Structure 1
């Protein structure tokens, strides 16, 4: 039997480390912290990333029973963890993105667990050793569990499915068992109830399920079944599983027997102020944003395994996952490669029961060919999970193809920038200087040399970094570049789909990005607030799920070059739009029959038939979206925007205080008389609270008309938190209730 308790509370933290500190018994003099925890409190930008690249130490008191075996499981410690019990060394784990367990062997009832965390960029640990275009932060930033085991218990379970035909499957369940036991295995869910007995043996066990007719898992119908292993009334193992047929072929990606074009984005697990250290409900929220707000069907976990809560939410909400090992371009030697192989094993064993994962990434992102290393990573992955295909993300044409799917970062579409630079500078070295017709993407044959299973895994990104508060024309161009590449992917039936770079702006090293430690590559900013490009993706979803009307305009006179306001690209899944100017209808507009982006499921509707020259009268604009001749969406614009309202909302009415801290997202919007953000309003909002803590401090910057922050609970937080937000003479209030778990 196994009892698992999350222990994110009652930790103490030393921001400095000296040799021997792990033996300290008077650790209560250090800072009391709750997990998840970042070793340094960061500013939003322009901070020195070297501030967290150091050794620190965490302590926690543990009371352990003598009649059980005890283990501690760490879900993520960045980047090297040395674990001690009562001052005695237990183990070292290298790698900040994969879990590890350590047994606590002691005869004492009261014990001190110490974890020395080295968050420096060590050359013996992936992804380090070269330059990397993202930050890794530091600390114990994911959950920690105390596990009590006695008698029979299960380890390394693998629910391996095999499709027989259509919705008919069989499955094998393999696991290790600590001692002999009479087990009952159950698989239950919609239309399915399977129960049978199994005589469990010490060590390896494998049992076969009968043929079953099931409801298949997909992003549209994320059907899950509950798998349970019991010994009497004791639950030895429980998880949720799913059944689906997912295969990348030379003719595209097929899900449950149907051609299924992939549309996705890459995600960094990066947040303002706290880096990686956000609790699991905000990992889940990112899945909701990707799936529901952006309308995606896939996410790539660039460039490392991400939170267990994130992957589980992909199962629950319905989002395909391409999960990959840690790394960025650099391949180390010796110990570095040994750690990488260990990370492959830890990733696959942790996540192979998740139906959302359809592809393993077993090659360091954008690295060169390495026959020896990548033969090993592929072989290890296939041994641990023979049911899924492997991919290896590269930017090289005709790279050695050891995986099942040729996964390619294709930045060949530059919007004409290379031609312009060559005119001005002559020869110019670029990241992906491919001389080919600019149609959005290269062909499969051009890249791989032959027709193979193929997925585009990055595009756009650094080719056109765009801030949410940029001039309108840049925001439009940013969106259109995403649209051009998506259109090219849909146009080629041999491409399984395209996963763009990237979902959210993210922090980076001093030698990348815009100089302020940011890469502004996202279709949303780091606070998860949309740019114009977000509408390109959102508008491609079925309107029956969510009607989307996303005009690429702020409706101004003079923010674009030459004082123009047209054309307006309306990204929408509506059938048609009506335009009203100055309160009068200017007619209905539909998609062009042979438009430039007509391979998209829902190409934009282009408004270009009327224009206004500089100095002419300028009035309000309404764009109305129709579906089956019914109005389903309306977007209104003022011609004379002024600060009309200051809105404060909280993502949660109630927070549950447990061993881990909880947080609500506070969003403050400054809008005009039509409810639109004022994109060039800057400054800050002053927050006053009766409890909790504002991440980043009480003066919250206004960026592009909105100010966003998170309010976290503290161990002593209880009752209600009242928040007052002030901007000049304007103020708003909100109250959040805090309940104890």
Structure 2
């Protein structure tokens, strides 16, 4: 029977020395570590990327039982950045190239049975031009180390090599099973279970490669709103003896991409998402399962996106598993960024396509394969990567990210990084100007055009948010556009020549700690979460030029907002009418309403005049136009006020030194409130 043992604790790490290979037992001067592990911990910013270019050595003892004789013994590495040499008891076993794919190492012939064995892994994080994504200038860091989990597999000599279960016919509810075994005989027992289903079927093995079709009448389809997953068990019997068992989770759904949109199980969905780097402050890539899962939850529940692109490499299985569970679509891709190297580099690229599809085949959240190196040209290579992807998986389309128009399309979907700057009249390129007669997806936008620190002036934070808002809004009405994926989910450390002075690319709608900028609130407008109000302003005059706030925006999934100033009603504000969002932004450009009428006893017309003049007085003092001075004179005489009265009124009402309460109303009932005071922190309450 198959058995897998985790090997994530009690490792020892040191910077590599040549003498360590022969002296394979020593751990003197090594540091005890657990996996995931980052070989070089960084500061938050102002890092030197060259510090990452090291070779490290990991050591661990593994007890190989006598009963394992005759079995296949494999080490499974989920991710080692970026070159790994494996040694057992000082003997060289193999080398793996690449930092983002899972790889397995057969150590059966190298171990001593019935005793402790010494595993050594030499890891190089140097940017080797023969290993994707390296070779050119790179706008992210590769980090280094054994940064994903390691396990130990014990398998019988007769076993299931690979199994691929897929939906073949949506209307007929037909499934297909491709099965590869070491023997051309035996019996397979399939079991599919969910909360509502228990399905069993048997298949005769007549070859080492077998394909089966069968109907599953009670199937429930996986969807972004109802992500039904099945537990799959495959038991392999030879002469009535159970020799192997494989289990995994999957879901079944129908995908269609056309020039008129993306359809999931026949329902059209506009793809709105963000690009994700798998990076974190200080530790780089080395984060465990719970944190990987949390990123998926933030994207789905906090931000409301329905798709994430795993830029620019394959990412953690934990992240993908959680995407499956919560209904978050995924666009994965092979490692690479703006560079294609020599023949060895190309071979690694082809191997990455195979590794990506083999590992992630059963994730229903994955709706296409990214088989092109980001923003790079090489027709011969992409003919091969597409051919391989189609051979490995006929159920999904291929895609490839470009930043140039009209290139030869070998993939099924044309994905394009659309960065139109603010000087352009349009904010999205017309699809027909990029590619004709093909499904079209914007795979990046905004990003480096609007770098924004979470500590920037509010004007910068708001401009970034409005850019995302306007692009999403434009995409929602374009039927010839599959959707838009923004750059990016979070900020990230980067290389020389990119990002800010402190070598951080501040392109995220959240910072590296997953704290939201105002742009994050734009994506929340797409979600179906509980009622919320996000005021895209602190209402602190010091954040604005001349200390004057003309208007603010509020992101809220409510029908309208009632604004109160020091518990006095200012007015009712409604979402923009000309918007394609279900819940458009709400613009508030009046912080007084008729308070002057009620509190100071002036006429309604005088109130209107004063509200038009007060901003000018605040910005330029009494340096007013002749016409504005006449207005002031009218207000004084009409309401029997002195200049002293007017001055007091000005200082009392022209600033925002007050407490503002925002009440979000749904179906006539206050569903959520938010209070912001210039003297207190914001209070937030869901009714």
TM-score (normalizing by structure 1) = 0.81
The correspondence for 1:563, drawn from 544, 547, 560, is 547
What is residue 163 of structure 2 aligned with on the other side? Answer: 157
Q: State how far apart, in whole Å, the 1-side matches of 2:312 and 2:254 are.
A: 25
CA contact (8 A) 2:80 2:123 kept: yes
What is residue 250 of structure 1 aligned with on the other side? Answer: 259
What is residue 338 of structure 1 aligned with on the other side? Answer: 347
1:6 counterpart = 2:6 = yes
Q: State how far apart, in whole Å, the 2-side matches of 1:17 and 1:266 are.
A: 38
> Match of 1:558, SS?
helix
Question: Which segments of 5 or more consecutive residues in structure 2 lack a partner in the other structure?
Answer: 593-613, 619-650
Cα offset for 1:551?
Answer: 1.8
Q: State how far apart, in whole Å, the 1-side matches of 2:682 and 2:434 are.
A: 51
Between 1:151-160 and 1:228-237, the stretch displaced more is: 228-237
C-alpha spacing 1:70/1:606, structure 2 compared with 1 (3 Å): same
Cα offset for 1:202?
Answer: 6.2
Q: State how far apart, in whole Å, the 2-side matches of 1:23 and 1:236 are.
A: 39
What is residue 605 of structure 2 aligned with on the other side? Answer: none
Q: State how far apart, in whole Å, the 1-side matches of 2:17 and 2:257 are.
A: 49
What is residue 97 of structure 2 aligned with on the other side? Answer: 94
1:322 counterpart = 2:331 = yes
1:554 counterpart = 2:545 = no
> Match of 1:486, SS?
helix
Q: State how far apart, in whole Å, the 2-side matches of 1:80 and 1:261 are.
A: 39
The correspondence for 1:210, drawn from 203, 211, 215, is 215
The correspondence for 2:135, drawn from 129, 141, 145, is 129
- TM-superposition CA deviations, 1:124-180 (whole Å, max 9, x none): 100000011001100000010100011532222211211331xx4211122322344
What is residue 259 of structure 1 aligned with on the other side? Answer: 268
What is residue 198 of structure 2 aligned with on the other side? Answer: 193
- TM-superposition CA deviations, 1:468-518 (whole Å, max 9, x none): 111111111010011111111112111011110001111101211012121
Q: State how far apart, in whole Å, the 1-side matches of 2:153 and 2:667 are.
A: 56
What is residue 174 of structure 1 aligned with on the other side? Answer: 178
Question: Which segments of 5 or more consecutive residues in structure 1 lack a partner in the other structure?
Answer: 417-436, 642-671, 677-741
CA contact (8 A) 2:155 2:244 kept: no
Q: State how far apart, in whole Å, the 1-side matches of 2:283 and 2:111 are.
A: 38
CA contact (8 A) 1:539 1:548 kept: no
Cα offset for 1:609?
Answer: 3.3
What is residue 601 of structure 1 aligned with on the other side? Answer: 582
CA contact (8 A) 1:22 1:115 kept: no
Who wins on radius of gyration, i.e. which is larger? 2
1:415 counterpart = 2:396 = no
> Match of 2:170, SS?
strand
CA contact (8 A) 2:673 2:684 kept: no
Q: State how far apart, in whole Å, the 2-side matches of 1:531 and 1:484 are.
A: 16
CA contact (8 A) 2:274 2:487 kept: yes
Q: How does 1:452-601 map to 2 (within 5 A)?
A: 452-542=438-528, 545-594=529-578, 598-601=579-582
Between 1:225-234 and 1:266-275, the stretch displaced more is: 225-234
What is residue 277 of structure 1 aligned with on the other side? Answer: 286
Cα offset for 1:75?
Answer: 0.6
Q: State how far apart, in whole Å, the 1-side matches of 2:206 and 2:23 are.
A: 41
C-alpha spacing 1:23/1:155, structure 2 compared with 1 (3 Å): farther
Q: State how far apart, in whole Å, the 2-side matches of 1:185 and 1:56 are.
A: 44
C-alpha spacing 1:313/1:107, structure 2 compared with 1 (3 Å): closer
- TM-superposition CA deviations, 1:378-426 (whole Å, max 9, x none): 11111111110011100101111111000010011x233xxxxxxxxxx
Between 1:12-21 and 1:400-409, the stretch displaced more is: 12-21
CA contact (8 A) 1:172 1:208 kept: yes
> Match of 1:626, SS?
strand
Pick the structure with more helix per residue: 2
Q: How does 1:695-710 map to 2 (within 5 A)?
A: none
- TM-superposition CA deviations, 1:102-128 (whole Å, max 9, x none): 101235132111111110000110000
What is residue 404 of structure 1 aligned with on the other side? Answer: 412
Q: How does 1:360-379 map to 2 (within 5 A)?
A: 360-368=369-377, 370-379=378-387
Q: State how far apart, in whole Å, the 1-side matches of 2:479 and 2:532 are.
A: 26
The correspondence for 1:444, drawn from 417, 431, 435, is 431
> Match of 2:386, SS?
helix
CA contact (8 A) 2:535 2:554 kept: yes
Q: State how far apart, in whole Å, the 2-side matches of 1:631 and 1:556 are.
A: 26
1:627 counterpart = 2:636 = no
Q: State how far apart, in whole Å, the 2-side matches of 1:172 and 1:479 are.
A: 45
Cα offset for 1:10?
Answer: 1.8
C-alpha spacing 1:54/1:372, structure 2 compared with 1 (3 Å): same
Q: State how far apart, in whole Å, the 2-side matches of 1:503 and 1:162 are.
A: 34
Q: State how far apart, in whole Å, the 2-side matches of 1:296 and 1:245 are.
A: 20
- TM-superposition CA deviations, 1:657-714 (whole Å, max 9, x none): xxxxxxxxxxxxxxx36479xxxxxxxxxxxxxxxxxxxxxxxxxxxxxxxxxxxxxx
Cα offset for 1:205?
Answer: 2.9
> Match of 2:541, SS?
coil
C-alpha spacing 1:239/1:22, structure 2 compared with 1 (3 Å): farther
Q: State how far apart, in whole Å, the 1-side matches of 2:518 and 2:461 are.
A: 6
CA contact (8 A) 1:539 1:549 kept: no
> Match of 1:116, SS?
strand
Q: State how far apart, in whole Å, the 2-side matches of 1:327 and 1:89 are.
A: 29
Between 1:625-634 and 1:199-208, the stretch displaced more is: 199-208
What is residue 224 of structure 1 aligned with on the other side? Answer: 229
Q: State how far apart, in whole Å, the 1-side matches of 2:45 and 2:330 are.
A: 30
What is residue 117 of structure 1 aligned with on the other side? Answer: 123
Cα offset for 1:576?
Answer: 0.8
The correspondence for 1:80, drawn from 61, 80, 83, is 83
What is residue 626 of structure 2 aligned with on the other side? Answer: none
What is residue 287 of structure 1 aligned with on the other side? Answer: 296
Cα offset for 1:634?
Answer: 1.4
The correspondence for 2:319, drawn from 300, 310, 313, is 310
- TM-superposition CA deviations, 1:87-113 (whole Å, max 9, x none): 111111111000110101235132111
C-alpha spacing 1:35/1:592, structure 2 compared with 1 (3 Å): closer
CA contact (8 A) 1:161 1:169 kept: yes
1:382 counterpart = 2:390 = yes
Q: State how far apart, in whole Å, the 1-side matches of 2:291 and 2:206 are.
A: 40
> Match of 1:526, SS?
coil
Q: Aligned residues, how many?
A: 616
Q: State how far apart, in whole Å, the 2-side matches of 1:334 and 1:177 are.
A: 32
C-alpha spacing 1:107/1:516, structure 2 compared with 1 (3 Å): closer
Q: State how far apart, in whole Å, the 1-side matches of 2:548 and 2:222 are.
A: 48
RMSD over equivalenced CA pairs, Å: 1.8
> Match of 2:127, SS?
coil
